Amino acid sequence: MAIQFCSACGDALPESLSPTVNCDTCSLTNQNNLLKSVTKSSSTDFPSPLRHKLTTSVNDQQSSSLSATDTWGRADVACSNCHAPDVRYTAMQLRGADEGTTIFYFCPACSARWSDNN
Protein backbone atom coordinates (compact mmCIF):
# COMPACT_ATOMS: atom_id res chain seq x y z
CA MET A 1 0.00 0.00 0.00
CA ALA A 2 1.15 3.56 -0.64
CA ILE A 3 2.39 5.82 2.15
CA GLN A 4 0.63 9.06 3.01
CA PHE A 5 2.36 11.91 4.87
CA CYS A 6 1.05 14.56 7.27
CA SER A 7 0.62 17.96 5.60
CA ALA A 8 1.87 19.81 8.74
CA CYS A 9 4.85 17.84 10.09
CA GLY A 10 5.63 15.42 7.23
CA ASP A 11 5.43 12.31 9.41
CA ALA A 12 4.08 9.10 7.85
CA LEU A 13 0.39 8.65 8.57
CA PRO A 14 -1.03 5.33 9.76
CA GLU A 15 -3.14 3.23 7.40
CA SER A 16 -6.85 3.86 7.78
CA LEU A 17 -10.11 3.08 6.01
CA SER A 18 -11.84 6.22 7.31
CA PRO A 19 -12.03 9.42 5.19
CA THR A 20 -9.73 11.25 7.64
CA VAL A 21 -6.45 10.20 9.26
CA ASN A 22 -5.04 11.65 12.49
CA CYS A 23 -1.28 12.23 12.65
CA ASP A 24 0.34 10.41 15.59
CA THR A 25 3.01 13.13 15.94
CA CYS A 26 1.15 16.47 15.74
CA SER A 27 -2.50 15.24 16.01
CA LEU A 28 -3.54 17.10 12.82
CA THR A 29 -6.50 15.60 10.98
CA ASN A 30 -5.56 14.91 7.33
CA GLN A 31 -7.72 13.84 4.41
CA ASN A 32 -7.25 10.19 3.52
CA ASN A 33 -6.38 10.53 -0.18
CA LEU A 34 -5.46 6.87 -0.54
CA LEU A 35 -9.10 5.81 -0.60
CA LYS A 36 -9.65 7.82 -3.79
CA SER A 37 -6.73 6.43 -5.77
CA VAL A 38 -7.08 3.08 -7.46
CA THR A 39 -4.22 1.60 -9.42
CA LYS A 40 -4.63 -1.27 -11.84
CA SER A 41 -1.65 -2.95 -13.40
CA SER A 42 -0.81 -6.12 -15.25
CA SER A 43 2.36 -8.02 -15.99
CA THR A 44 2.67 -6.21 -19.33
CA ASP A 45 3.10 -2.91 -17.46
CA PHE A 46 6.39 -4.19 -16.06
CA PRO A 47 8.60 -5.40 -18.91
CA SER A 48 10.84 -8.32 -18.08
CA PRO A 49 13.62 -9.64 -20.32
CA LEU A 50 13.17 -13.09 -18.79
CA ARG A 51 9.39 -13.12 -19.46
CA HIS A 52 10.00 -11.91 -23.03
CA LYS A 53 12.61 -14.62 -23.60
CA LEU A 54 10.29 -17.32 -22.21
CA THR A 55 7.29 -16.12 -24.24
CA THR A 56 9.36 -15.91 -27.42
CA SER A 57 10.83 -19.36 -26.84
CA VAL A 58 7.43 -20.97 -26.18
CA ASN A 59 5.84 -19.27 -29.21
CA ASP A 60 8.74 -20.35 -31.44
CA GLN A 61 8.46 -23.94 -30.26
CA GLN A 62 4.70 -24.03 -30.77
CA SER A 63 4.86 -22.50 -34.22
CA SER A 64 7.70 -24.76 -35.31
CA SER A 65 6.03 -27.92 -34.03
CA LEU A 66 2.54 -27.08 -35.30
CA SER A 67 3.14 -25.35 -38.60
CA ALA A 68 6.39 -26.89 -39.79
CA THR A 69 4.89 -30.28 -40.55
CA ASP A 70 7.23 -30.57 -43.54
CA THR A 71 9.81 -31.93 -41.08
CA TRP A 72 7.37 -34.66 -40.09
CA GLY A 73 7.26 -37.85 -42.13
CA ARG A 74 4.19 -38.98 -44.05
CA ALA A 75 2.39 -42.03 -42.69
CA ASP A 76 0.16 -44.54 -44.45
CA VAL A 77 -2.38 -44.18 -41.67
CA ALA A 78 -5.84 -42.63 -41.93
CA CYS A 79 -6.74 -39.87 -39.49
CA SER A 80 -8.73 -41.23 -36.56
CA ASN A 81 -10.85 -38.06 -36.53
CA CYS A 82 -11.62 -37.11 -40.17
CA HIS A 83 -10.21 -40.22 -41.98
CA ALA A 84 -7.95 -38.09 -44.20
CA PRO A 85 -5.20 -40.18 -45.83
CA ASP A 86 -2.45 -37.51 -45.50
CA VAL A 87 -1.24 -37.92 -41.91
CA ARG A 88 2.17 -36.80 -40.64
CA TYR A 89 4.21 -38.45 -37.90
CA THR A 90 7.34 -38.06 -35.80
CA ALA A 91 8.90 -40.42 -33.27
CA MET A 92 10.48 -39.68 -29.90
CA GLN A 93 12.19 -41.87 -27.32
CA LEU A 94 10.27 -40.96 -24.17
CA ARG A 95 10.60 -44.18 -22.20
CA GLY A 96 13.56 -46.40 -21.35
CA ALA A 97 16.14 -47.33 -23.97
CA ASP A 98 14.98 -50.96 -23.89
CA GLU A 99 11.41 -49.95 -24.76
CA GLY A 100 9.97 -48.75 -28.05
CA THR A 101 9.55 -45.20 -29.28
CA THR A 102 6.41 -43.10 -29.01
CA ILE A 103 5.00 -42.08 -32.38
CA PHE A 104 3.12 -38.79 -32.58
CA TYR A 105 0.62 -38.32 -35.41
CA PHE A 106 -0.72 -35.04 -36.76
CA CYS A 107 -3.50 -34.54 -39.32
CA PRO A 108 -3.01 -31.34 -41.38
CA ALA A 109 -6.65 -31.49 -42.53
CA CYS A 110 -8.35 -31.27 -39.12
CA SER A 111 -5.36 -30.61 -36.78
CA ALA A 112 -6.08 -33.77 -34.80
CA ARG A 113 -3.20 -35.16 -32.73
CA TRP A 114 -2.71 -38.57 -31.20
CA SER A 115 0.14 -40.82 -30.15
CA ASP A 116 0.97 -44.51 -30.24
CA ASN A 117 3.45 -46.35 -28.02
CA ASN A 118 5.47 -48.56 -30.32
User: Residues within the annotated binding site for Zn(2+)?
Assistant: 6, 9, 23, 26, 79, 82, 107, 110
Q: At 60, which amino acid appears?
A: D
Strand order in the sheet with 87-92: 73-75, 87-92, 102-106, 113-117
| Alpha-carbon distances of 63 from 39, 40, 73, 91, 110, rounded to whole Å | 36, 32, 17, 18, 17
- Annotated binding-site ranges: 6, 9, 23, 26, 79, 82, 107, 110
